[in-house]
Amino acid sequence: MYGKGLSMDTEEIVRRWSEDFARHPMFGEGMTGEQIDEMWESGSSKYSDSSYAEIRDRIIETMLSEGCLGPNVTVLDIGSGPGTFAIPLSRHCKRVICVDKSRGMLDRITSSDIANISVLQSDCLCIPQKYASDVAFSSLCPPMNTPEGIDCMCRLGKRCVYVSSSSHEEGLEGRIWRKLGKDYSYTGYDTDYPYRYLRSKGVDASIRYFTQEKQHDESVSDCIRRFATVFSRYRYVGDTVMDAISEVVKDSSEDGIVHHRNTQRFGMLTWNSPDSSE
């Protein structure tokens, strides 16, 4: 499957990747697969790309400039969500096949009634080979941020484009978890892991980064309510959790207002599939 000239210790990369991946609150709090699916389904109607719309557009521009898209190109969007990338991608290619496990996410795509977009409800790691396409694309899809996910993309695309968050800012959520005595992190989603994994296998992958400044203000009470909702995805929100949320939010406020200032940073990974016959 892979080329020669291993440049890194693949087993060590996979071990570290797995350890960091397990530090996500979903796994640290012991959520089952069924609970995780339910979480994504329940949020399907609320999902928004407002915090990274500029990054999305620049990624698509880069794909165009590098010849990933064109009038005869078919794109398989794995873990498409509500069509955040698929809908704009459809303007630059022959066809986009959107794959997601969430019916609610796919319903948002079909409601847009775009002729060259089709949908498939499926586990992202179990897509039939008949859906193999010119480009296998995946963005911000947790199941794909694993060695199995990257291998799946190699199986399904002649060319692969993978996008994930590479932001390392702790933010209020991280501070609240620390207040609760938890050492959780989202570093397992860093694009550097699949990049190093592919390179260790001899695949000539390339990586680049895109950033977008995110700024918004909200009242202390609104911020506390929002984080109570966030933490309710993972655990029961009782007095202990509410006290931690309130303390961190209030300490971060000024005159009753929380000023959020952070930088979204995404990594875009591209490679030609070693599984391709071309």
pLDDT at 95 over 90: yes
CA distance 187 to 199: 19
Tokens of 126: 């179990």
Please list the helix, strand and coil fractions of the chain in percent, rounded to the nearest 5, in that order.
45, 25, 30
Overall CATH class of domain 10-168+185-214+264-272: alpha beta
- pTM value is 0.89
Domain spans of the chain, in order of start = 10-168+185-214+264-272
pLDDT at 246 over 70: yes
Residues 6+ apart with CB under 8 A from 90: 96, 114, 116, 117
Q: What is the pLDDT of residues 25-68, one digit of tens each?
A: 988 898 888 888 887 777 655 666 667 899 999 999 999 999 99
Q: What percent of the chain has pLDDT over 70?
A: 93
Across residues 180-184, what is the average pLDDT? Answer: 94
Tokens of 128: 């039939």
Q: Which of 27-36, 90-99, 136-145, 160-169 has the lowest mean pLDDT?
A: 27-36
Tokens of 251: 């300490």
CA distance 266 to 175: 22
Q: What is the pLDDT of residues 2-19, one digit of tens each?
A: 334 444 589 999 999 999
